[in-house]
């Protein structure tokens, strides 16, 4: 533990302590800012009752499905567009048109098309992830030095082998950048899509608590979303270390 | 004879202006088995383009390239050449071993066999112990050894070198020149070696093809019969250097004037 670590711990602990003390002393209205320990207690209650784990499971199911569909489609289309000119020409105008639209603005349309169930939420998340992964994958393919493609061809690689053994691994670092951004986007979108037209999920739990002015439970939702964000970041970092050991070692 | 070039020419179209810039003209050259052939010329004389044409990575605009030892006279399936690139062109996501096995791997050689071959070549280029390192963990000289082993792994008859030592410091370059000679002798392969360094040409080559400034033509072909080991300070070497220096100087000037 370095001095820097201690300062970081002191910063967090100090603020939480001050917060707790101020609420107890009656200087802060718990309706606006419940004490950290009471949030923790609420979290524990909701975990024991099964309410919180169930909400997390419902949301995770939507996030993971949407993320996987969006990521797979984004990677495949991105690799094809990066490697084959006409695929790029077909995709380019759509990317230019849809990429700047906040994907949450598409949710009403998807509700209309895919109904009130899980599908509309999963599609919204998938579309949000898709464009981030797609754009980064294309960048990744472009960043591959042309001399590597030449070397591969010179050594006898077929077009398919160049694709699998040069273009894919060459684009992988940028693909992971897209996946990280996409994971963040998926969490944003799952919250937004769970505000309306659902009776389950972490976003629903948080929003319902807000409407009942139950600030403790709002905080439980916020903290849980934060934990999910940290967990996905760790998971993706681990995956990147395992699949791209050559990058890890350059750090 | 391994390789025959007949009236090979290359023209680069420039899309922006619609111009057609000639890079190579009327290159006629025979390469015999076991040669260490040097393509020497000023920058921009098209010598690297010529190498890419021999490798089949660029198509010639005129003339033909024949490999008389093959059934159909062409390269292609059983490739006869392998290229060593100036900036190594190693796959950063593959270890030393992974880079060296790349050729046999894409050509369908069974794993056990290709690993054994790669291991032998890694020993040949003195990289034993570094098999599992990544390219960014290697020095420039070591990277070029990997590139050489990788090119040898397909067991080509001709190795093509595109200014392989240009990026190295002077000390490492001296060591690598001796290494290239040793490997040339030990493998009995034919080397076609592009350089703009006169010293390198005289130290290494069995024959020097001096090219003109762009468009590249063959200005002079010089047999080098000097005994080895050669030294730049030797009398015969110095005399040859002087003679080629004058010829090369003319072309460098012409290249700058044009």
Whether residue A249 and residue B91 make contact (CB cut-off 8 A), yes or no, is no
Average pLDDT over residues A103-132: 94
Instruction: Give the number of residues written for chain A.
Output: 251
Residue A144 dihedral angles phi and psi, to the nearest 5°: -70, 130
What is the ipTM for the molecules in this complex? 0.90
Residue B119 lies in a domain: no
The confidence band for A207, taking pLDDT boundaries of 50, 70 and 90, is very high
Between β-strands B19-31 and B3-14, what pairing exists: parallel, antiparallel or unpaired?
Answer: antiparallel
A212 belongs to a structural domain: yes
CATH of residue B249's domain is 3.40.50.300
Judge whether A251 is closer than 8 Å to chain B, CB to CB: no
Of A145, A154, A246, Cβ closest to residue B134? A246
Is there a contact between B106 and A165 if contact means CB atoms under 8 Å apart? yes
User: Which residues span the domain enclosing A236?
Assistant: 35-248
Pairing of strands B3-14, B62-66: antiparallel
Range of the domain at B12: 3-80+156-257
**Residue A68: strand pairing partners:** none
Q: Is B15 exposed, middle or buried (0-12, 13-18, 19+ CB in 10 A)?
A: exposed
A 142-161 → B contacts, CB under 8 A: 145, 147-148, 150-158, 161
CATH code for position A150: 1.10.3720.10
**Of the partner residues A145, A154, A172, the one whose CB lies closest to the CB of residue B57:** A154
Instruction: Give how far A84 is from chain B: nearest CA, Å.
Output: 19
Is the distance from CB of B199 to CB of B248 less than 8 angstroms? no
Q: Is residue A106 part of a domain?
A: yes
Per-10-residue mean pLDDT of chain B, 258 residues long, equals 91 87 91 94 87 91 86 59 93 96 95 96 95 94 95 94 91 92 94 93 94 88 90 89 89 79
Contact list in A for residue B57 (CB cut-off 8 A) is: 150, 153-154
Provide the mean pLDDT of chain A.
93
Q: Which residues 74-113 of chain B have a CB within 8 Å of chain A? A: 79, 81-83, 85, 87, 89, 91-94, 102-103, 105-107
* pLDDT at residue B73, as a whole number: 56
Kindly report the pTM of this predicted structure.
0.85
Three-state DSSP class for residue B38: strand
Structural domain count, chain A:
1
Is residue B117 included in any domain, yes or no?
no
Torsion of CA A120, A125, A127, A130, to 10 degrees: -150
Q: Are B118 and B68 in contact (CB under 8 A)?
A: no
Query: In total, how many domains does chain B have?
Result: 1
Give the pLDDT score at A88: 92
Span A56-85, pLDDT tens digits = 999 999 999 999 999 999 999 999 998 889
> Are A150 and B79 in contact (CB < 8 Å)?
no
């Amino acid at each position: 533990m370095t001095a820097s670590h201690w300062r970081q711990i002191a910063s967090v602990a100090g603020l939480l302590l001050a917060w707790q003390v101020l609420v107890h002393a009656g200087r802060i209205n718990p309706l606006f800012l419940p004490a950290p320990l009471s949030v923790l207690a609420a979290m524990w209650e909701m975990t024991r009752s099964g309410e919180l784990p169930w909400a997390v499971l419902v949301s995770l199911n939507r996030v993971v499905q949407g993320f996987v569909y969006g990521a797979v489609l984004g990677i495949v289309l991105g690799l094809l567009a990066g490697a084959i000119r006409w695929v790029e020409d077909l995709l380019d105008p759509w990317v230019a048109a849809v990429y700047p639209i906040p994907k949450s603005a598409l949710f009403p349309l998807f509700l209309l098309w895919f109904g009130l169930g899980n599908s509309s939420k999963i599609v919204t998340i998938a579309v949000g992830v898709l464009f981030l992964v797609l754009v980064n994958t294309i960048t990744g393919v472009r960043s591959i030095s042309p001399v590597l493609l030449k070397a591969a061809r010179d050594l006898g690689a077929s077009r398919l082998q160049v694709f699998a053994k040069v273009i894919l691994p060459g684009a992988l670092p940028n693909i992971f950048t897209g996946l990280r951004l996409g994971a963040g986007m998926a969490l944003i979108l799952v919250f937004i899509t769970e505000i309306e037209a659902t009776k389950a999920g972490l976003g629903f739990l948080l929003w319902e608590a807000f409407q009942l002015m139950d600030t403790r439970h709002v905080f439980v939702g916020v903290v849980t979303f934060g934990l999910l964000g940290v967990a996905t970041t760790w998971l993706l970092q681990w995956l990147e270390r395992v699949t791209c050991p050559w990058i890890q070692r350059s750090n | 004879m391994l390789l025959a070039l007949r009236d090979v020419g290359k023209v680069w179209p420039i899309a922006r202006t619609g111009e057609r810039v000639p890079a190579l003209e009327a290159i006629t050259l025979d390469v015999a088995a076991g040669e260490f052939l040097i393509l020497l010329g000023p920058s921009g004389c098209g010598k690297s383009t010529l190498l890419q044409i021999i490798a089949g990575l660029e198509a010639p605009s005129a003339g033909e390239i024949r490999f008389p030892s093959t059934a159909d006279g062409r390269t292609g399936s059983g490739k006869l050449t392998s290229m060593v690139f100036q900036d190594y062109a190693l796959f950063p996501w593959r270890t030393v071993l992974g880079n060296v096995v790349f050729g046999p791997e894409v050509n369908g050689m069974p794993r056990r066999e290709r690993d054994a071959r790669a291991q032998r070549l890694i020993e040949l280029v003195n990289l034993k112990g570094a098999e599992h390192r990544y390219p960014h963990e290697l020095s420039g000289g070591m990277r070029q050894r990997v590139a050489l082993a990788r090119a040898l792994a397909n067991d080509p008859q001709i190795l093509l070198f595109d200014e392989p030592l240009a990026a190295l410091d002077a000390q490492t370059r001296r060591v690598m020149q001796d290494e290239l000679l040793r490997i040339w002798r030990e493998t009995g392969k034919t080397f076609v070696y592009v350089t703009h360094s006169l010293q390198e040409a005289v130290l290494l080559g069995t024959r020097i093809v001096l090219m003109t400034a762009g468009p590249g033509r063959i200005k002079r072909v010089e047999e080098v019969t000097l005994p080895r080991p050669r030294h730049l300070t030797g009398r015969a070497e110095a005399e040859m250097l002087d003679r080629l220096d004058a010829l090369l100087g003319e072309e460098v000037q012409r290249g700058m004037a044009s």
